[in-house]
Amino acid sequence: MPVPAPAPTLAPSLRSRPLTVALIGNPNTGKSTLFNALSGSRTLTGNYPGVTVEKTVGQMQCGDRAVNLVDLPGTYSLAPRSLDEMVAVNVLLGRMADIGTPDVVVCIVDASNIERNLYLVCQVLDLGLPTVLVLNMADVAATRGVTIDAKKLSERLSLPVVVTEAHRHRGIEAVREAILEATARGPLVRPKLFPPAFMAECDTLAEKLAEWGQPQVPYYLRERLLLDVGGYVEGHFLADKSHLLKAWLTEARARLGAAGCKVPAVEARVRYAWVREILDGAVVRPATRPVTASDKFDRVLTHRVAGLVIFALVMLLIFAAISWFAQFFMDAFEAGQGWVSGLVASVLVPGPLRSLVVDGVIAGVGGVLIFLPQILILFFFIALLEDCGYMARAAFLMDRLMTKVGLSGKSFVPMMSSFACAIPGVMAARVIENRRDRLTTILVAPLMSCSARQPVYVLMIGAFIPAMYLGGWLQPLVLFAMTFYGAVVAIPVAWILKKTLLRGETPPFVMELPSYKWPSWRLVFNRVYAQGKEFVQRAGTLIFATSMLIWAAGYFPGDHTQADKLQAKIEKYEADLSDEQKEAVGETHAILGEFKTETQDLKKERPTAAATRGKKIDARLKEISKETDSYLETLNPEQRNYLADSSTKRALDTKLLEGSLLGQFGHAIEPAVKPLGWDWRIGVGVIASFPAREVIVSTLGTIYSLGGDVEADDQGLRSAIRHAEWPDGRKVYNIPVALSVMVFFALCAQCASTLMVIHRETGHWGWPVFTFTYMTLLAYGAAFVTYRLALLLGM
């Protein structure tokens, strides 16, 4: 058993510096609940360097001492199998420069399942750090008839033991006092659990490592090198002499096996023997385990039929909340953005500064905040389901299905959430402990058809898919197919990723089903607040920067002097004219646009028309001319000037966009997109939509001189793209092109916001670059095949 080492005398500088306290425990032990109860909302989040593991650090006071509280990832063991799992070991060994060596380790265990939880505690004690044992969820233990003598445990372990109910804020102050007590006691003497033969091999390994240029390797790492056959430490330690290390480890394990100390079985044997010795007489369980309310709930909620039905209903509720409730707040953000833009426009005259502020800064900030409602609602439900205990059941139900395509049962919620928006979906992948499963989920989540793709589908389907077929069901069926097309493609993509780039042994699905309990609303809202704040501060800055770059590419290098003068005149007209007069101008503009399109079609048809048809065309052209004059006569002079200047401004905006860096790049990539049936204008729309996919609609509106405020269901925009032509007179758009555009947008990574969040979640630029590359190539290939196949079928 561990005994305390003589307490050191702390120098004044050490007494004044903040303590570093690491919290560690098995999943579902209430560790995060205790962390939030101790730190409140004073937390900072980020990623540990080079890994996808979230780093959460909080601040609190223990008496007169400031404390930095580090919430380590939930784990069942300190035997790392990957770089992500190595994070906890590195933190505890003081190998993370931004954290330092912890002064105290707080081990949180589930009091109702203390036997298995103490396995991790036993490994922590091997580190020799000052330690506090927290017996959390004491109320659950009492419900199950388990009684624990905390005082006896404290005496046997020679460390402070505290009983808590973190979700009810019971025992929190006792934890603070125990941290100070552990600090005063100082480091523990590491318990000697393993046989002498194993200890001797550890000492010999230290000598060998010193010979190979690695002196003073911590004892725990030497222990792990011997015990973890094929583990992360063995595979990544002493890289330049790994062949010597592996050869020596193989020989050492053989010697241990011959001495009756087989590796790795010896670890479980000696540690659980230690657990039984520690708990003997200190923990009393009833002869028969009582049936609890959680057991009764689980009979229904984990049933193979009823459980799936209930799970589907819960997911439907979450999806509906994200899709419906978030829309209200998103509309409010858009209205607020419009109000602020209008306020700025009323102060600044048309020109580069106003465009920068309105179209760059305000639009960039709006592009960040517009995602916030979906993120907050999603994380509210995730926190709620996790804290009440249902999330573990959901993962259990879905694991069998998801593992068939290389994903985890916990991947389902992030994937489903991505149908509303990939950003909260990618962020929700944090709940997946396994690094490969988490990365696979992050990489395929953007394939789900988010709400931003819907305007593209609506525009193309409304313009080119006939509405009269299949009793009017053809358009809805095409919309349904496009919505779920990405999800179907994600299945083989995930399977391929797990077989190639992210291949590796699939770990067994081990998950403890915690007892159900009422969620802590304070914890839930703290988590929602923290996630929203983190998104705005970290991913939001990158999204804003990307939006600014796209604005600059669409504005420069053209001379906007004439356009700015026209804009000033238009704003004066709008100030002078009544709402009814402006509405009349808008209606006239729409009608004249239809007349213009019809005139172009008739003039194109006239040279090849038969005599009879030619006469009808001439007659119709005269009628259009008369009707145009009659509509214009209904307007007063100021209205006609407003109409003329607005039309001139739209045409000028089209010319400026074509001559901008964005337009030039669109022309440059036209040879690359032409095999898809696209011209440069579609290419510009695709590039401009990089900050957000739905921007393609307003970009096409500008290109076709309709203005940037058009909607996807605008009949003028649909008519304009129907009549768009190549220089040789061929129509640009048809059913094959429409299908090609929709398939491309269904699979492409045209969302800078999502890519920025992937960078934020993975901590490396390589993953968003890979995501953009593979999705773009996949989208291009699928669009090419779709276009060519549609042409062959004569669509």
Q: Round to whole Å and give the CA distance between 144 and 514.
A: 13
Q: Kindly state the percentage of the chain with pLDDT values over 90.
A: 24
Contact 318, 381 (CB under 8 A): yes
Q: Round to whole Å and give the CA distance between 382 and 318.
A: 9
Farthest-apart Cα atoms in the chain, separation: 112
What tens digit of pLDDT does each residue of 423-470 get?
A: 878 888 877 777 788 899 999 999 988 877 877 888 888 878 877 666
Which pLDDT score is estimated for 213?
83
* From 244-258, 292-306, 542-556, the region with the lowest mean pLDDT: 542-556
More confident residue, 740 or 760: 740
Residue 592 has pLDDT above 50, yes or no: yes
Band (791; pLDDT cuts 50, 70, 90): very high
Band (8; pLDDT cuts 50, 70, 90): very low
Q: Round to whole Å and give the CA distance between 646 and 653.
A: 10
Band (238; pLDDT cuts 50, 70, 90): low
* From 40-49, 401-410, 491-500, the region with the lowest mean pLDDT: 40-49
**Residues 535-562: what's their mean pLDDT?**
80
In a domain, 604, yes or no: yes
In a domain, 68, yes or no: yes
Mean of pLDDT over the chain = 84
Residue 630 has pLDDT above 60, yes or no: yes
Residue 271 has pLDDT above 90, yes or no: yes
Partners of residue 71 on adjacent β-strands: 23, 56
Q: Number of folded domains in the chain?
A: 3
Which pLDDT score is estimated for 54?
65
Is the same domain home to 53 and 173? Answer: yes
In a domain, 763, yes or no: no
In a domain, 179, yes or no: yes
In a domain, 352, yes or no: no
**Residues 740-745: what's their mean pLDDT?**
92
Is the same domain home to 644 and 564? Answer: yes
Is the same domain home to 124 and 206? Answer: no
What are the tokens at 314?
């819960």
* From 38-47, 605-614, 770-779, the region with the lowest mean pLDDT: 38-47
Contact 80, 228 (CB under 8 A): yes
- Does the model's pTM come out above 0.75? no
* From 188-202, 295-309, 523-537, 777-791, the region with the lowest mean pLDDT: 523-537
If we measure between CA atoms, which residue out of 418, 329, 376 comes closest to residue 527? Answer: 376
What tens digit of pLDDT does each residue of 23-69 get?
A: 999 888 888 888 888 887 555 555 444 444 566 888 888 888 899 99
Residue 302 has pLDDT above 80, yes or no: yes
Is the same domain home to 111 and 173? Answer: yes
If we measure between CA atoms, which residue out of 22, 4, 6 comes closest to residue 191? Answer: 4
Residue 178: burial class (beta carbons within 10 Å; 0-12, 13-18, 19+):
buried
More confident residue, 388 or 81: 388
Cα–Cα distances (Å) from 172 to 102, 167, 178, 461, in that order, read: 20, 10, 10, 59
Is the same domain home to 102 and 207? Answer: no
The conformation of residue 712, written as its DSSP 8-state character, comes to T
More confident residue, 543 or 699: 699
Which pLDDT score is estimated for 103?
94
Is the same domain home to 178 and 204? Answer: no
* From 149-153, 211-215, 340-344, 462-466, the region with the lowest mean pLDDT: 462-466
Residue 749 has pLDDT above 80, yes or no: yes
- Domain-ending residue, one of 260, 290, 311: 260
What tens digit of pLDDT does each residue of 318-369 get?
A: 777 776 777 788 888 888 888 998 899 888 989 889 988 888 888 778 777 7
**Residues 565-576: what's their mean pLDDT?**
89
The conformation of residue 71, written as its DSSP 8-state character, comes to E
DSSP string over 255-290: HHHHTT--TTHHHHHHHHHHHHHHHTTTEE--SSPP
Which pLDDT score is estimated for 11?
43
In a domain, 308, yes or no: no
- Domain-ending residue, one of 243, 260, 277: 260
Which pLDDT score is estimated for 52?
46
Band (538; pLDDT cuts 50, 70, 90): low
What are the tokens at 795?
């669509």
In a domain, 424, yes or no: no
* From 350-354, 501-505, 623-627, the region with the lowest mean pLDDT: 501-505
Host domain of residue 214: 196-260
Band (12; pLDDT cuts 50, 70, 90): very low
Helix (H) or strand (E) segment spanning residue 729: none
- Domain-ending residue, one of 185, 205, 230: 185
Is the same domain home to 112 and 244? Answer: no
Q: What is the CATH number of the domain that holds 153?
A: 3.40.50.300
Is the same domain home to 163 and 21? Answer: yes
Contact 707, 437 (CB under 8 A): no
Is the same domain home to 44 and 163? Answer: yes
Q: Round to whole Å and give the CA distance between 426 and 336.
A: 27
Amino acid at 267: E
Is the same domain home to 144 and 251? Answer: no
